[in-house]
């Protein structure tokens, strides 16, 4: 049954590479339809109610156990890569050898219960933090992508010095300490756990892994040891990265088995097999789950209360410019703040795909519960481009609803606020008009001011809050025109067209 | 000094002054001489971009008058916006492509095209149709989205703008062409040849915060002048510039204005534009300010202007 392991490895590479490359693709060379790979993930499929994908994943789990964890989940495969690489740092490059451990049931079921309860209370905070796919996205975008950008820029620097512009310099992603911190924390955690204990993260912390463990207890196929021929040599146990094989007791803890099939090739007597659970004889008694519902309930309600309290108290106080305390600007397609907060898991896919790099992971703009959820952050030449709807179309969780281009052009992300007393036309009495020049709908337009000068004016119902005006306003650090975010994205009026000029001009005029 | 050497140097000095006076003489003798030499401004109307370009260049003695074999050429169109050609927000791609082809035909070793765009540069290069046209004509389109592509130069004649970071490819080339499109402009009133220079500069926000018009006039004093300003007025944007909202902002004029003189070509373009959208040229302040800095002249009557209708 060695071939099962080979199939698993090939499949996991086929799933992992496109996802990984899609996240670190700094110059946008990969086609956008690669995002389809990301909808085949449990949490995104659950949040976006993608029943077809859910059905397939459920069927796979019921048939083969936690095959999602070993092949489809990018964080799972990342751990395998880390474990594999850890060999090169060990004495004599030896492979890691595992021993059976008892399951950390209290911890893993508490985390699962807590995540579910907090979600039912209306906050996706723990889903955001613990969804393995989103954690992977944050690690890839915050830690690996900057390295890829450096690499790209180095190549671009060398080649452009020789007059070759095949590679071009890409702006380094702006540093958001909190997002970087969250990504680093989880990366170190995963690194440490996979380095020493294989898939311990998946079996202790990951709520998706824990819930799939419940399914894999009844999966059609599972790993079983034939007691009659087993010599209790422990070879399979040493291979088991989930540390779920107890060779002395000839027992496999199905709830922690990720169907990696490493054990199958290790058995010399051929006693360990991946076979159907339902062929008459019941191999192993199903292990009892500790009854910890009371403890879990208390923990969960405690967390929920703390979380709500934190969200409520998160008001930014004591800043001197109104621009600092503005409402966050959600990406197009977010609709309402409630919908967006509840569905976005901060996987950073839209952030990495935004051609303008205007989408950034939030620090506390959405409150503590919304860290790493994307928001628009304008800077010079960085605003939401008019003819672009990429973010809304790649979002795997449905936090951003797909928009067609004509819809996107009318979605009001916010409304521009003009502060006349700060405008250079008012303060210096000189022409500028940069804001109006960049306004795609002419919601910001120039009106007569005095002595042939013109000054900007905003028509609110034409404004889509793209931030082009704010990004280009020369008044710094606080612009004379800025976008106030909308918590409920409205629909702007279609800009009126100019009067057509139909006369024939056949003279030069000079 | 040897006697022979003395004669040699005397001869050289004599020759030099001979040519010098000759050149001086042609300037001093005024209008008549100028009429017979190359024109100051050529305006063509009624053809396709490539046809009008070839016709206009003929008046100047053809592309070979400007581009010599083995030279590095830069073409600076307006590619500022992520807009399709029909919206006239960017220079006509057919015109840019034709110019690249002519330069290559004249033996240019390399023809480089760039613009420091306002919208995302990749999307602007692609959707303007200019990238495709340039590549098809054998040119090279290079990025201008990063400060590392720029180098600082002094502008001693500038009033507000004394220094600017300019794209290196322009500083390194042998000859360059400024190829703007004629458009209405919310900030600068109109954008033509001088306003197009904002796309060779890195830090544009300085312009907006230090009197836009003066800074545009200042950048026009940049010592490395384009061989020609080729103003695309095939389609012009009469309103809602510089981006435009729809094709209602666009007017077909099927015209092309060519001149080495920034001020003259912008003045002529404004007169053409005013027939569609009456505009007081004094409101386009940078034209007058540039004339004050002796960049060129607004007085078209003094110039040798060729008007050609096809």
Does any domain span residue A281?
A: no
End-of-domain residue from the set A248, A276, A304: A276
Q: What does pLDDT average to over chain A? A: 88
At B221, give phi and psi (nearest 5°).
Answer: -85, 0
**pLDDT digit string, tens, across residues A50-104:** 999 999 999 999 999 999 999 999 999 999 998 888 877 777 667 778 999 999 9
Per-residue model confidence (pLDDT) at position A270: 86
Reported in sequence order, the residue ranges of A139-249 that DSSP labels E, i.e. its strands, are 221-225, 245-246
* Higher-scoring residue by pLDDT: A208, A287: A208
Whole domain around residue A369: which residue ranges? 314-491
For residue A276, the cross-strand partners are: A221
Mutation target to probe the B interface, by most B beta carbons within 10 A, among A501, A503, A504, A506 is: A501
Q: What is the mean pLDDT of residues A463-491?
A: 94
Q: How far is B21 from chain A (nearest CA, A)?
A: 34
Single out the residue of B232, B234, B207, B202 nearest to residue B218, CA to CA. B207
Residue B286 to residue B296: CA distance in whole angstroms: 12
End-of-domain residue from the set A219, A251, A276: A276
The reply to whether A409 and A268 lie within a common domain is: no
**E strand or H helix at A324:** none
The reply to whether A107 and A239 lie within a common domain is: yes
Q: How far is B31 from chain A (nearest CA, A)?
A: 19
Per-residue model confidence (pLDDT) at position A309: 54
Q: Does the beta-carbon distance from B212 to A430 stay under 8 Å?
A: yes
Largest Cα separation within chain B, whole Å, is 78
* Higher-scoring residue by pLDDT: A290, A21: A21
DSSP sequence for A489-505: EEEPPPPPPPPP--S--
The reply to whether A84 and A175 lie within a common domain is: yes
The reply to whether A367 and A434 lie within a common domain is: yes
Residue A294 reports pLDDT greater than 60:
no
DSSP SS3 for A124: coil
DSSP 8-state symbol, A140:
I
Q: Does the beta-carbon distance from A168 to B143 stay under 8 Å?
A: yes
Q: Does the beta-carbon distance from A387 to B208 stay under 8 Å?
A: no
The reply to whether A244 and A352 lie within a common domain is: no
Does any domain span residue A307?
A: no
Tokens of A223: 């790993």
The reply to whether A249 and A126 lie within a common domain is: yes
Q: Please tell me which of the candidates A157, A356, A510 has its beta carbon nearest to residue B120.
A: A356
Kindly give the pairing relationship between strand A374-376 and strand A359-361: antiparallel
Q: Does the beta-carbon distance from B82 to A472 stay under 8 Å?
A: no
Q: What does each C-alpha distance from A160 to A27, B111, B124, B174, B194 come to in angstroms?
A: 16, 16, 21, 19, 28
Per-residue model confidence (pLDDT) at position A162: 84
Per-residue model confidence (pLDDT) at position B27: 43
**pTM score of the predicted model:** 0.82
Are A445 and A367 in contact by the 8 Å Cβ rule? The answer is no
Q: What is the mean pLDDT of residues A481-496?
A: 93
- A430 and chain B: CB distance < 8 Å anywhere? yes
DSSP SS3 for A226: coil
Residues of chain B with pLDDT under 50: 17-35
CATH number of domain containing A425: 3.30.70.20
Which residues from B are below 8 Å from A424, CB to CB? 208-209
Does any domain span residue A285?
A: no
Per-residue model confidence (pLDDT) at position B269: 97
DSSP SS3 for B30: coil
Q: How far is B186 from chain A (nearest CA, A)?
A: 5
Q: Please tell me which of the candidates A437, A507, A509 has its beta carbon nearest to residue B242.
A: A437
* Beta-carbon contacts of residue A134 (< 8 Å; ≥ 6 apart): A43, A128, A345, A346, A347, A348
* Beta-carbon contacts of residue B32 (< 8 Å; ≥ 6 apart): none
Q: Does the beta-carbon distance from B208 to A506 stay under 8 Å?
A: no
Does any domain span residue A299?
A: no
Dihedral, CA of residue B96, residue B97, residue B100 and residue B104, to nearest 10: -170
The reply to whether A262 and A326 lie within a common domain is: no
Does any domain span residue A34?
A: yes
The reply to whether A320 and A233 lie within a common domain is: no
Residue B6 to residue A509: CA distance in whole angstroms: 59
Per-residue model confidence (pLDDT) at position A303: 62
* Beta-carbon contacts of residue A474 (< 8 Å; ≥ 6 apart): A424, A432, A434, B205, B206, B208, B209
> Across the A/B interface, how many CB contacts are shorter than 8 Å?
133
Q: Does the beta-carbon distance from A509 to B275 stay under 8 Å?
A: yes
Are A400 and B254 in contact by the 8 Å Cβ rule? The answer is no
Which residues from B are below 8 Å from A510, CB to CB? 43, 267-268, 271-272, 300, 305
**E strand or H helix at A172:** none
pLDDT band for position A301 (50/70/90)?
A: low
Does any domain span residue A297?
A: no
CB-side exposure of B263: number of CA atoms within 13 Å?
A: 22
Which residues from B are below 8 Å from A437, CB to CB? 118, 185-187, 241-243
Number of independent structural domains in chain A: 2
Q: Does the beta-carbon distance from B127 to A387 stay under 8 Å?
A: yes
**pLDDT digit string, tens, across residues A98-109:** 999 999 999 999
* Beta-carbon contacts of residue A270 (< 8 Å; ≥ 6 apart): A229
- A52 and chain B: CB distance < 8 Å anywhere? no
Residue B152 to residue A18: CA distance in whole angstroms: 42
Q: What does pLDDT average to over chain B? A: 90
DSSP SS3 for B100: helix
Q: Please tell me which of the candidates B143, B208, B307 has its beta carbon nearest to residue A508.
A: B307
Q: How far is B266 from chain A (nearest CA, A)?
A: 12
Residue A146 reports pLDDT greater than 70:
yes
b/e map A41-67, b = 16+ CB within 10 Å: bbbbbbbbebeebeeebbebbeebbbb
Q: What is the mean pLDDT of residues A311-322?
A: 53
Task: Report whether the peptide linkage leading into residue A477 is cis, meaning its omega lies within 30 degrees of zero.
Answer: yes
At A102, give phi and psi (nearest 5°).
Answer: -80, 145
Mutation target to probe the B interface, by most B beta carbons within 10 A, among A437, A473, A474 is: A437
Sign for the CA dihedral angle at A191, A195, A197, A198 comes to: positive
**pLDDT digit string, tens, across residues B7-56:** 666 565 555 544 444 444 444 444 444 445 789 999 999 999 999 999 99
**pLDDT digit string, tens, across residues B81-106:** 999 999 999 999 999 999 999 999 99
Per-residue model confidence (pLDDT) at position A283: 47
Residue A401 reports pLDDT greater than 80:
yes
Q: Please tell me which of the candidates A169, A387, A501 has its beta carbon nearest to residue B238.
A: A501
Q: What is the mean pLDDT of residues A393-419?
A: 95
* Beta-carbon contacts of residue A37 (< 8 Å; ≥ 6 apart): A15, A18, A19, A22
Q: What does each C-alpha distance from B256 to A475, B46, B182, B230, B243 come to in angstroms?
A: 37, 9, 10, 7, 21
Does any domain span residue A151?
A: yes
Q: Does the beta-carbon distance from B239 to A434 stay under 8 Å?
A: no
The reply to whether A331 and A387 lie within a common domain is: yes
Q: What does each C-alpha distance from B26 to B20, B31, B37, B227 come to in angstroms?
A: 10, 9, 10, 21
Residue A352 reports pLDDT greater than 60:
yes
- A490 and chain B: CB distance < 8 Å anywhere? no
The reply to whether A230 and A351 lie within a common domain is: no
Which residues from A are below 8 Å from B240, CB to CB? 442, 498
Which residues from B are below 8 Å from A443, CB to CB? none
Residues 333-352 of A with CB under 8 A from B: none
Are A195 and A86 in contact by the 8 Å Cβ rule? The answer is yes
The reply to whether A328 and A259 lie within a common domain is: no
- A164 and chain B: CB distance < 8 Å anywhere? no
- Tokens 């996706």 — which residue? A124
Of A5-19, A97-111, A113-127, where does mean pLDDT reach its minimum? A113-127
DSSP SS3 for A19: helix
* Beta-carbon contacts of residue A441 (< 8 Å; ≥ 6 apart): A462, A463, A464, A492, A495, B245
- Tokens 């007081």 — which residue? B280
The reply to whether A363 and A459 lie within a common domain is: yes
End-of-domain residue from the set A211, A246, A276: A276
Residues 442-471 of A with CB under 8 A from B: 442, 445-446, 452
Residue A487 reports pLDDT greater than 90:
yes
Q: Which residue from A minimizes the CA distance to B244?
A: A440
Task: Report whether the peptide linkage leading into residue B242 is cis, meaning its omega lies within 30 degrees of zero.
Answer: yes
Does any domain span residue A284?
A: no
**pLDDT digit string, tens, across residues A156-210:** 989 988 878 888 888 887 788 999 999 999 999 999 999 888 899 999 999 999 9
């Amino acid at each position: 049954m060695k071939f099962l392991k080979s199939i698993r490895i090939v499949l996991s590479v086929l799933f992992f590479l496109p996802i990984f490359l899609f996240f670190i693709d700094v110059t946008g060379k990969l086609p956008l339809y690669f995002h389809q790979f990301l909808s085949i993930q449990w949490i995104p499929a659950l949040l976006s109610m993608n029943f077809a994908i859910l059905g397939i994943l459920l069927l796979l789990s019921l048939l083969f156990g936690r095959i999602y964890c070993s092949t489809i989940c990018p964080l799972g495969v990342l751990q395998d890569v880390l474990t594999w690489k850890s060999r090169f740092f060990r004495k004599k490059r030896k492979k890691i050898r595992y021993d059976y451990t008892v399951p950390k049931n209290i911890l893993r079921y508490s985390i699962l219960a807590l995540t579910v309860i907090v979600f039912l209370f209306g906050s996706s905070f723990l889903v955001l933090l613990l969804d393995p796919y989103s954690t992977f996205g944050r690690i890839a975008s915050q830690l690996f992508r900057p390295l890829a950008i450096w690499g790209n820029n180095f190549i671009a620097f060398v080649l452009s010095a020789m007059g070759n512009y095949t590679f071009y310099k890409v702006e380094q992603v702006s540093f958001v300490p909190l997002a970087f911190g969250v990504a680093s924390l989880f990366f170190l955690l995963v690194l440490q756990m996979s380095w020493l204990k294989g898939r311990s993260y998946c079996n202790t912390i990951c709520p998706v892994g824990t819930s799939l463990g419940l399914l894999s207890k009844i999966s059609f196929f599972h790993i079983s040891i034939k007691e009659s021929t087993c010599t209790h040599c422990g070879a399979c146990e040493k291979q088991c990265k989930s540390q779920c094989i107890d060779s002395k007791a000839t027992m496999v803890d199905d709830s922690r088995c990720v169907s990696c099939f490493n054990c199958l090739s290790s058995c010399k007597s051929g006693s360990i097999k991946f076979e159907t659970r339902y062929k008459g004889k019941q191999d192993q008694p199903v292990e009892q789950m500790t009854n910890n519902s009371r403890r879990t309930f208390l923990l969960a309600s405690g967390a929920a209360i703390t979380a709500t309290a934190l969200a409520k108290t998160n008001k930014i106080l004591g800043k001197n410019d109104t621009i600092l305390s503005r409402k966050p600007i959600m990406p197009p397609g977010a609709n309402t703040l409630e919908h967006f907060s509840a569905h976005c898991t901060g996987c950073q896919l839209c952030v990495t795909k935004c051609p303008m790099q205007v989408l950034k992971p939030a620090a506390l703009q959405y409150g503590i519960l919304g860290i790493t959820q994307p928001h628009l952050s304008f800077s010079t030449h960085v605003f939401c481009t008019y003819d672009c709807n990429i973010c809304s179309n790649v979002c795997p969780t449905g936090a951003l609803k797909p928009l067609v281009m004509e819809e996107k052009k009318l979605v009001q992300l916010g409304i521009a606020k003009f502060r006349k007393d700060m405008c250079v036309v008012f303060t210096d009495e000189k022409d500028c008009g940069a804001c109006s020049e960049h306004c795609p709908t002419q919601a910001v337009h120039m009106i007569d001011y005095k002595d042939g000068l013109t000054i900007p004016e905003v028509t609110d119902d034409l404004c889509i809050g793209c931030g082009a005006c704010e990004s280009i306003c020369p008044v710094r650090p606080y612009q004379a025109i800025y976008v106030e975010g909308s918590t409920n994205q409205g629909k702007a009026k279609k800009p009126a067209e100019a009067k057509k000029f139909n006369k024939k001009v056949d003279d030069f005029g000079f | 000094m040897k006697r022979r050497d003395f004669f040699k140097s005397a001869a050289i000095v004599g020759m030099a002054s001979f040519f010098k006076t000759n050149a001086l003489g042609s300037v001093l003798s005024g209008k008549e001489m100028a009429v017979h030499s190359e024109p100051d401004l050529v305006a063509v109307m009624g053809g396709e971009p490539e046809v009008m370009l070839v016709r206009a260049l003929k008046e100047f003695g053809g592309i070979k008058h400007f581009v010599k074999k083995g030279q590095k050429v830069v073409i600076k169109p307006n590619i500022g916006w992520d807009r399709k050609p029909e919206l006239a927000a960017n220079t006509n791609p057919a015109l840019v492509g034709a110019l690249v082809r002519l330069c290559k035909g004249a033996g240019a070793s390399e023809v480089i095209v760039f613009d420091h765009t306002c919208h995302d540069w990749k999307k602007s290069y692609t959707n303007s149709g200019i990238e495709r046209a340039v590549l098809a004509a054998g040119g090279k389109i290079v990025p201008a989205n990063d400060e590392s592509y720029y180098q600082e130069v002094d502008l001693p004649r500038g009033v507000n703008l004394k220094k600017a970071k300019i794209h290196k490819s322009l500083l390194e080339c042998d000859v360059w062409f400024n190829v703007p499109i004629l458009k209405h402009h919310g900030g600068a009133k109109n954008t033509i040849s001088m306003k197009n220079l904002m796309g060779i500069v890195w830090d544009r926000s300085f312009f907006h915060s230090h009197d836009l018009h003066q800074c545009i006039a200042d950048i026009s004093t940049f010592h490395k002048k384009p061989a020609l300003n080729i103003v695309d007025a095939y389609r012009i944007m009469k309103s809602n510039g510089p981006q435009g909202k729809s094709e209602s902002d666009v007017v077909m004029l099927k015209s092309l204005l060519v001149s080495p003189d920034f001020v003259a070509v912008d003045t002529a373009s404004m007169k053409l534009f005013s027939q569609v959208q009456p505009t007081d040229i004094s409101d386009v302040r940078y034209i007058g300010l540039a004339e004050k800095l002796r960049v060129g002249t607004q007085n078209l009557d003094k110039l040798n202007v060729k008007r050609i209708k096809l």
